[in-house]
Amino acid sequence: MSADTLSAPPRAVRFRGALLPLALFALLAVVPFVAGALGQPFYVSLFTRIMIFAVAALALDLVLGYGGMVSLGHAAYMGVGAYAIGILSFHGVDSGWLQWPLGIGAAALAALVIGALSLRTRGVYFIMITLAFAQMLYYTANALSTYGGDDGMTLWGRSSFSGLVKLSDARTFYWIVFAVLALSYLGLRRVVASKFGRVLRGCKENERRMAAIGYNTALYKLAAFVLSGALAGLSGVLLANHTEFVSPAYMSWVRSGDLIVMVVIGGLGTLHGPIAGAVLVLVLEEVLSKLTQHWWLIFGPLIVLTVWRAKGGVVRLFGGRA
Amino acid sequence: MDPILLAVQTLNGLQLGVLLFLVAAGLTLVFGIMDFINLAHGVQYMIGAYFAATFTAVTGSFLLGAALALPAAVLVGVALERVVFRHFYGRDHLDQVLATFGVIFFLTELVRVIWGPTPLSFPVPAWASHSVTLFGGATYPAYRLFIIGGGLAVAAGLYALVARTRFGMLVRAGASNPRMLQALGTDIKRLFLLVFALGAMLAGFAGLMAGPILSVEPSMGDNLLILAFVVIVIGGLGSIQGAFLGALLVGLVDTLGRSFLTDAVKLVLPASAAVDVGPALSSMLIYVLMAAVLIVSPTGLLPAKGATR
List the alpha helices (DSSP H) in chain B. 3-34, 41-59, 62-83, 93-115, 142-164, 166-176, 178-183, 188-210, 220-235, 240-268, 271-296
Summarize pLDDT for B156-196 with one digit per residue, the tens: 999 999 889 999 898 888 877 878 888 888 888 888 899 99
Distance from CA of A101 to the nearest CA of B (A): 25
DSSP A184: H
Which pairs count as long-range contacts for B130-135, CB under 8 Å and 24+ apart, including other chains?
A: B134/B7, B135/B7
CA neighbours closer than 13 Å in the CB half-sphere of residue A138: 21
Residues A176 and A238: their CA atoms lie apart, in Å, by 9
Three-state secondary-structure class, residue B307: coil
- pLDDT of B305 strictly over 70: no
Q: Tell me whether residues A124 and B109 touch, CB distance under 8 A.
A: no
CA–CA–CA angle B287, B43, A284 (5° rounding)? 100
Could you give the dihedral angle defined by the CA atoms of residues A282, A249, B25 and B198, in that order, rounded to the nearest 10 degrees? -40
Contact B119, B215 (CB under 8 A): yes
CB distance B22 to B272 below 8 Å? no
CATH number of A3-318: 1.10.3470
Q: Kindly give, in sequence order, each residue whose CB lies less than 8 Å from that of residue A236, ignoring residues fewer than 6 positions away.
A: A56, A77, A78, A79, A80, A81, A82, A83, A84, A85, A103, A107, A250
Amino acid at A186: L
Contacts A–B by Cβ distance under 8 A: 126
Q: For chain B, say whether A292 makes contact (Cβ under 8 Å).
A: no
Whether residue B113 and residue A140 make contact (CB cut-off 8 A), yes or no, is: no
Is the Cβ of A128 closer than 8 Å to some Cβ of chain B? yes
Residue of B nearest to A125 (CA): B233
DSSP structure string for A287-307: HHHHH-TTTHHHHHHHHHHHH
Quickly state the pLDDT bin for A320 (edges 50, 70, 90): very low
Task: Test A301 with B102 for CB contact under 8 angstroms.
Answer: yes
* pLDDT confidence bin for B150, thresholds 50/70/90: very high
Indicate the SS3 state at residue A127: helix
Instruction: Tell if the CB–CB gap between A308 and B88 is shorter than 8 Å.
Output: yes
- The answer to whether B309 touches A124, Cβ cutoff 8 Å, is yes
Residue B128: other Cβ atoms inside 10 A: 16
Q: Measured between CB atoms, which of B106, B275, B279 is closest to A300?
A: B106
CB of A263 within 8 Å of a chain B CB? The answer is no
> What are the tens digits of pLDDT across the range A266-301?
888 899 999 999 999 999 999 998 888 888 899 899
The segment with the largest mean pLDDT, out of B89-93, B182-186, B240-244, is B240-244
Nearest CA of chain A to the CA of B62: how many Å? 31
Q: How confident is the model at residue A14, as a pLDDT? A: 60
| Helix boundaries (H) for chain A | 11-38, 42-61, 75-90, 96-118, 124-143, 170-193, 195-212, 217-243, 253-266, 272-291, 296-309
Enumerate the residues of chain A whose CB falls inside 8 A of the CB of residue B237: 124-125
Contact B93 A123 (CB under 8 A): yes
Residues 78-117 of A with CB under 8 A from B: 117
A142: chain B residues, CB-CB within 8 Å: 283
Residues of B in contact with A123 (CB under 8 A): 93, 309
**Mean pLDDT of the A242-252 span:** 93
Hey, which of A318-322, B137-141, B233-237 has the most confident mean pLDDT?
A: B233-237
Nearest to B287 among A121, A133, A308 (CB): A133
Burial of A20 (0-12, 13-18, 19+ CB in 10 A): buried
Give the span between the Cα atoms of A18 and A315, in whole angstroms. Answer: 12
Confidence of residue A318 (pLDDT cuts 50, 70, 90): low
Q: Are B205 and B198 in contact (CB under 8 A)?
A: no
Residue A8: pLDDT band (50, 70, 90) is low
Mean pLDDT, chain A, whole residue set: 89
Q: Which residues of A touch B280 (CB under 8 A)?
A: 139-140, 143-144
Q: Check CB contact under 8 Å for B291 and A117.
A: yes
| A149 Cβ under 8 Å from any chain B Cβ | no
Q: Identify whether the C-beta of residue A133 lies closer than 8 Å to the C-beta of residue B43.
A: no
Which of A11-20, A88-97, A288-297 is the least confident region? A11-20
CA distance A170 to B264: 48
Q: Nearest Cβ partner of B226 from A123, A132, A308? A: A132
Which residues of chain B does A128 touch, with a Cβ-Cβ cutoff of 8 Å? 229-230, 232-233
Using a CB-CB distance cutoff of 8 angstroms, which residues of chain B are in contact with residue A257?
39, 97-98, 101
A135-162 per-position pLDDT tens digit: 889 988 988 888 888 899 999 889 888 8
Q: Cβ-count burial of A303 within 10 angstroms (0-12 exposed, 13-18 middle, 19+ buried)? A: buried
Residues of A in contact with B107 (CB under 8 A): 300
Q: What is the pLDDT of residue B135?
A: 74
DSSP collapsed to 3 states, A221-269: HHHHHHHHHHHHHHHHHHHHHHHCEECHHHHCHHHHHHHHHHHHHHCCC
Judge whether residue B207 has pLDDT over 90: yes
Neighbouring CB atoms inside 10 A of A249's CB total 16
Say whether A307 and B106 touch across the interface (CB within 8 A). Answer: no
pLDDT band of A1, cuts 50, 70, 90: very low
Residue B308 in this model has a pLDDT that exceeds 50? no
**Distance in angstroms (rounded) separating the CA atoms of residues A299 and B287:** 32
Chain B contact for A66, CB < 8 A? no
Average pLDDT for A215-233: 95
CA-nearest residue of chain A to B91?
A: A308
Q: What distance in Å separates residue B136's CA from the closest CA in chain A?
A: 34
d(CA B298, CA B99): 27
CB-based burial of residue B92 (10 Å sphere; 0-12 exposed, 13-18 middle, 19+ buried)? middle
Choose, out of B39, B81, B101, the residue to mutate when testing the contact with A (most A CBs < 10 Å).
B101
Classify residue B185 as left (phi > 0), alpha (psi -120 to 50) or beta.
left
Q: Which residues of B touch A145 (CB under 8 A)?
A: 275-276, 279
A72–B298: do the CB atoms touch at under 8 Å? Answer: no
Query: How is chain A split into domains, by residue range?
Result: 3-318
Nearest residue to A57 via CA among A158, A188, A179: A188
Among candidate residues A244, A292, A283, the one with its CA nearest the CA of residue A53: A283
pLDDT over threshold 90, residue B252: yes
Instruction: Select the residue of B93, B222, B276 nearest A70 (Cβ to Cβ).
Output: B93
Q: Residue B297 — pLDDT band, cuts 50, 70, 90?
A: confident
| A contacts of B229 (beta carbons < 8 Å) | 128, 131-132
pLDDT cut 70: percent of chain B above it: 98
Taking the Cβ of residue A121 and every Cβ of chain B, the question of whether any pair is shorter than 8 Å is answered with: yes
Contacts of A124 in chain B (CB under 8 A): 31, 37, 93, 237, 309
Rounded Cα distance between B157 and B27, Å, is: 17
Residues of B whose CB is below 8 A from A303 = 98-99, 101-102, 105
Yes or no, beta carbons of A136 and B283 under 8 Å apart? yes
Q: Give A276 to chain B, closest Cα distance, Å.
A: 18
Option in A127, A139, A307 nearest B95 (CB): A307
A-interface mutation test, from B229, B232, B275, B297, most A Cβ less than 10 A away: B229
Q: What is the DSSP string of B214-260?
A: S-B-TTHHHHHHHHHHHHHHHH-TT-HHHHHHHHHHHHHHHHHHHHH
